[in-house]
């Protein structure tokens, strides 16, 4: 009997950082999310490849990113984004502001590494002494849903994994860093 062949891994090509993303120390995924939020409110303008957004929509775009600015921050951001008070903000400065806000949010604390590890272990079912915790898998999510007595469709659970791991495949699962990122975006942690 011939040996079993391994199924091809669900591997998606890793997104490459653009020059803009590198300048602001954000991942390609973060830049894509910023671009999507910008695009929700963008209006075409000559000489602006990505268009512009009205300054009145800057707050809404940042909220869509999970980066809600305070009133004072918003005032400062709009002054930076639209120094000539034309009422519009271009894409590149918007990326810069969002990157600064994202870095400040990450640096502002939130849960410590131990808290994130503990939450991750709750999902994966790993013991507190386990050093080699694998990724959060479809089976783990099914177990959590059963424990919570929630009837959740498998396709929804698969979509959750794909959203969390950037489309790298259901078989890849969700790593600890991706888990932390999702929990922050969901508002579980600041």
CA-to-CA distance for 124 and 131, rounded, in angstroms?
Answer: 13
Among the listed residues 129, 75, 119, 127, the one whose alpha carbon sits nearest the alpha carbon of residue 97 = 75
The whole-model pTM stands at 0.53
- Looking at residue 150, what is its pLDDT? 84
pLDDT at residue number 6? 61
Per-residue pLDDT of the chain (190 residues; tens, 9 = 90+): 666 666 555 555 567 888 888 888 888 889 999 999 999 999 998 888 888 999 999 999 998 888 888 898 899 999 999 989 999 999 999 999 999 888 887 766 556 667 788 888 888 887 655 554 689 999 999 988 888 788 889 999 999 999 999 889 999 999 988 888 888 777 666 5
């Amino acid at each position: 009997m011939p040996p079993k062949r391994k199924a091809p891994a669900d591997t998606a090509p890793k997104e490459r950082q653009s020059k803009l993303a590198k300048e602001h120390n954000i991942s390609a995924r973060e830049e894509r999310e910023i671009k999507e939020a910008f695009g929700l409110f963008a209006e075409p303008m000559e000489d602006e490849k990505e268009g512009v957004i009205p300054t009145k929509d800057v707050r809404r775009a940042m909220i869509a990113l999970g980066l809600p600015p305070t009133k004072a921050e918003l005032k400062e951001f709009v002054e930076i984004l639209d120094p000539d008070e034309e009422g519009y903000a271009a894409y590149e400065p918007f990326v810069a502001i969002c990157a600064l806000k994202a870095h400040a949010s990450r640096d502002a604390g939130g849960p410590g590494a131990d808290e994130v590890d503990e939450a991750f272990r709750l999902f994966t079912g790993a013991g507190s002494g386990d050093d080699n915790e694998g990724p959060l898998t479809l089976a783990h999510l099914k177990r959590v849903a059963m424990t919570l007595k929630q009837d959740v469709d498998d396709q929804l659970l698969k979509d959750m994994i794909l959203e969390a791991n950037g489309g790298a495949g259901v078989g890849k699962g969700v790593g600890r860093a991706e888990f932390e990122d999702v929990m922050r975006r969901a508002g579980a942690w600041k």
